[in-house]
Structure 1
Amino acid sequence: MPALDGGICRVKLARGELSAAQALAIADTIDEHACGIADITNRANLQLRGVKRGHEEPLIAALLRAGLGPSGSQDNMHAFADDVRNVMVSPTAGRDAGAMIDTSAIADDILARLQSDKRFTALSPKFALLLDGGERLAMLDHPHDIWFSAARDPRRDDVLFAFGLAGCPPVAEKHAGAVAAVAASNVAALTYALVHTFLDLAAPEHTRMRDLLAVHSVERVLTHVESKTGIALLRDASIERWRRAPADPSLRLGAHRQRDERRSHVGGQPVLGRMNSATLRGLARLVKDNDGATLRMTPWQSVLLTDIDSAYIAATLQALEALGLACNARDPLTRVIACAGSTGCAKSLADAKADAMKLAAHLPAHANAQVHLSGCPRSCAAAHRAPYTLLAVAPGRYDLYHTRDPRDPTGFGRCLARGLTIDEAAGMLSHAARPPIPPFDEPSDA
């Protein structure tokens, strides 16, 4: 689709994963057909910017040849829409020491079902699903149309999945709880039935699950699902009271031991989630140099390398830093996110990317709350509400908002000041973002 800086091509990655060959293919493609830039999105996908006029078809063909499209699309580039592949898992799925279950196979099953039914092309490109295995590293604050989260079965020593509609897994008591639970073996089939139920009941103007729930009760939706599948749903007080353990987003940075206790995952943050072709080639080399490693994008717009042997952790961290990635949570660039800004988007009132760089340079290490710079009220760079938001009102001028609940989807929070310059905003944030305000991206009960 068009933008000020050229065309935009979104590449949806299955489970956020990118092979070394695919990373190299993207690097070559954006050098030849675009401006050499790839942004990591807040759903752990990629967005290729600056696609040159007349280069759209060869760019898409090159990506499909690299296996970066839906199943079957390599033979027919218009065979099936990419929009339905919105299943988000933890970037440490299958590796996280805190997980109750490896969600990889279930996620693959869900993706296969979504891609096999052409009816699902009617879904909004933003219709999103979360599959949470209970990992310590997990994005819990993005609202999803359907979410599943691993939980202990209160009836026996086993894992089942609590699930909910139009929201997030509950961490604090004030968050809406799960509507029911289902056996792990039935998650993919239930997802398929839930999506069909949405399409059965939704009016043309209903694009998201929240729209459907405004006119149909949860009970109506679940009754419809049960009639289609015969899957037994667990619905009792224990599921309603269930709360998900808090996650720790800082685990996306640096090196952390995996569940096998022998290897580690190592992560770093590209500046404002943006990579160039040289960065992609460098990441591909790291995957090749570490036997068995995988490269994964994260919903914090960072990258993660899994299965790094202990002997190579220091060298891998040094290589990431040499590529310009921040690997330490004390680096202010790990706590600032920004939209494309006025250089890439006609709706943006300010150059949010450049202003975010300037802001990060002025933030001390103790200002540890996440700050989101948005060029307009659409909040494209953040699917949740960051603790602090700078909303552009003019070039170089922002209103500052604060919310202590990053899950609040209703607005940016309370306005603290209007029309600030970046220097003025940095001064306020340096003073305000001290403890006891919760640190970056951690859910708060306050």
Structure 2
Amino acid sequence: MPDAPLTQAHTPQVAPRPSACPGLWRIVSARDGGICRIKLAGGLLLADQADAVATAAERFASGVIEATNRGNLQIRGIGSDHQGLVEALLAAGLGPRDAAGDDVRNLMLSPLAGRDPAMLLDARPLAGQILDLLEGTPRFHQLSAKFAVQLDAGERLAMLEHPHDLWLSALPLEQQAWLAFGLAGCPADGQVLGAVPLEQGLMLVRAVLERFLDLATPAQSRMRQLLEVCSPSDFIDGLGLVIRRDAAVLGWRREAYDAPWLGVLPQAQGLALGVAPPQGRLTPTMLRGAARVARELGDGSLRLSPWQSLVLTNIQAQAVAQAQAALSDLGLLCHAHEPLARISACTGSSGCAKALGETKADAATLAALLGPGAPGSVHLSGCPRSCAVAHVAPATLLARSPGRYDLYLRDARQPGFGALRATDLTLNEAGAMLDLPTEHLDD
């Protein structure tokens, strides 16, 4: 059986607060129509809910559904019947108990939380408690819609590079489970600030959020902004908790696995399948088809991942080939060697007024010019905001005019996209420069 959703919904009579970020109730205008963001508890989407999203996208919008880089879904091209769309999604259990709690449901887990063979603990019980805390505490509804928390349980399949305002990572100490944590960063950056026993994890999250709201000004909506005027050590000293900060904690580094996110994925029991819609965009037919495969050959659920992909869990070994064939027939990418699997792109100028290039179409053109390589190695961005990817990609093509891009290669010594390697490239020129072994892009 699939996991139950971590929260249950009912229709609230509360207007969403003002924000530039889309939410379930707050439909934000874009060049191609309205955008509604559906935040999924732990990335979990039941098959029936997937069908409801597909139907809502057809009935109330243009049929464009996007997987986001934080494990959520967006419906684009929404028409005038906002209330009808919202009511359809709420009826499928895709909202929180209270409209005011929608914005703060920003908790990232591994798409294989509770199932990954390398996990040190099952993150789902604590994740449910954190989501209840965020949704059920009126003061925490003041947090920015972008304020985000990550709970990492040591899984092989884990996004370790996305920055979070607070991150927690499982740490074994003296045969007990602890949670190392950091602020305004990610597990990959190595900036561990302390640790608490696992049973104090919820207490730590509450204390961090309360202290942030105590100290932050209205202009300091993110942790990184607060830490510009308050040192991490001063912040921690005021939490009112006993924080372990010895060498065993501060010197610990999260082990990073070179784990694929497409194809057959190992579980503690059984197998999972990772598949991706090209450039993160699902059609209603794709989403319904994936839900059908999950019902017939899996456990009836999908998990959205921070790679803008889907994970189908509990697939029997003898059904893997059948499932992959069905998913591939839908147009989903099932293998890392597929050219489009290594390219991501923002919405582009057809949907966003800030974009200087039609990045989605250009990404499809570029994919045909590239040889085989690692997935997710190139990102096309229509403007410097670099939407659709939360971390710096190994290679970024930044649009400067339609069909022309500047090429940056990631460089830890330089901020932003990294080192500028070439300017005003055509797609053919960019393809020639990028058709290199992946290790060259990472230099």
Alignment TM-score > 0.5, same fold: yes
Alignment of 1:10-409 (within 5 A): 10-52=37-79, 54-70=80-96, 72-73=97-98, 79-153=99-173, 156-170=174-188, 175-226=189-240, 231-250=241-260, 252-260=261-269, 263-290=270-297, 292-366=299-373, 370-405=377-412
**SS of aligned partner of 2:71:** coil
Conservation of the 8 A alpha-carbon contact between 1:256 and 1:266: yes
How far 1:219 sits from its partner (Å)?
2.0
Q: In 2 relative to 1, CA 368–148 (structure 1 residues): closer, same or farther, beyond 3 Å?
A: closer
User: For the Cα contact (< 8 Å) 2:181–2:194, is it kept in 1?
Assistant: yes
Give the match's secondary structure for 2:235: helix
Q: Which amino acid aligns with 2:262?
A: L
Which residue of 2 is the match for residue 416 of structure 1?
421
Tell me the equivalent position of 1:76. Answer: none
Q: Secondary structure of the equivalent of 2:282?
A: strand
Q: Higher mean Cα deviation, 239-248 or 3-12?
A: 239-248
What CA RMSD, in Å, does the superposition of the two structures yield over aligned residues? 1.5
Unaligned runs of 5+ in 1: 74-78, 439-445
Contact 2:344 2:376 in 1 (8 A): no
- The corresponding residue for 1:442 is none
The offset of 1:368, in angstroms, is: 6.2
Amino acid at match of 2:433: M
Q: Is the 8 A contact 1:384 1:409 kept in 2?
A: no
Amino acid in the other structure paired with 2:266: R
State the secondary structure of the residue aligned to 1:225: coil
Query: What do residues 63-86 of structure 1 show as CA deviations (whole Å, max 9, x unaligned)?
Result: 11111111x24xxxxx42411000
Instruction: Report runs of 4+ in structure 1 exceeding 6 Å deviation.
Output: none
Shift in alpha-carbon separation, 1:349–1:437, aligned structure 2, 3 A: closer
Change over 3 Å in CA distance of 1:367–1:199 after alignment to 2: closer
Aligned-partner residue type, residue 190 of structure 1: L
Q: Is the 8 A contact 1:293 1:308 kept in 2?
A: no
Please list the CA deviations of residues 167-215 of structure 1 after superposition, one character each: whole Å capped at 9, or x if unmatched.
0114xxxx44210001111112211111111000001110100111111
Aligned-pair CA distance for 1:247: 2.8
Contact 2:116 2:156 (8 Å CA) reproduced? yes
Contact 1:393/1:419, CA 8 A, preserved across alignment:
yes
What is the distance in 1 between the residues matched to 2:153 and 2:300? 21
What is the aligned-residue identity percentage?
Answer: 47
Structure 2 unaligned residues grouped into runs of 5+: 1-27
Q: What is the alpha-carbon distance in structure 2 between the residues aligned to residue 308 and residue 243 of structure 1? A: 33
Q: What is the count of residue pairs matched by the alignment?
A: 416
Of 418, 425, 430, which residue of structure 2 is paired with 1:425? Answer: 430
Secondary structure in 2 matching 1:80: helix
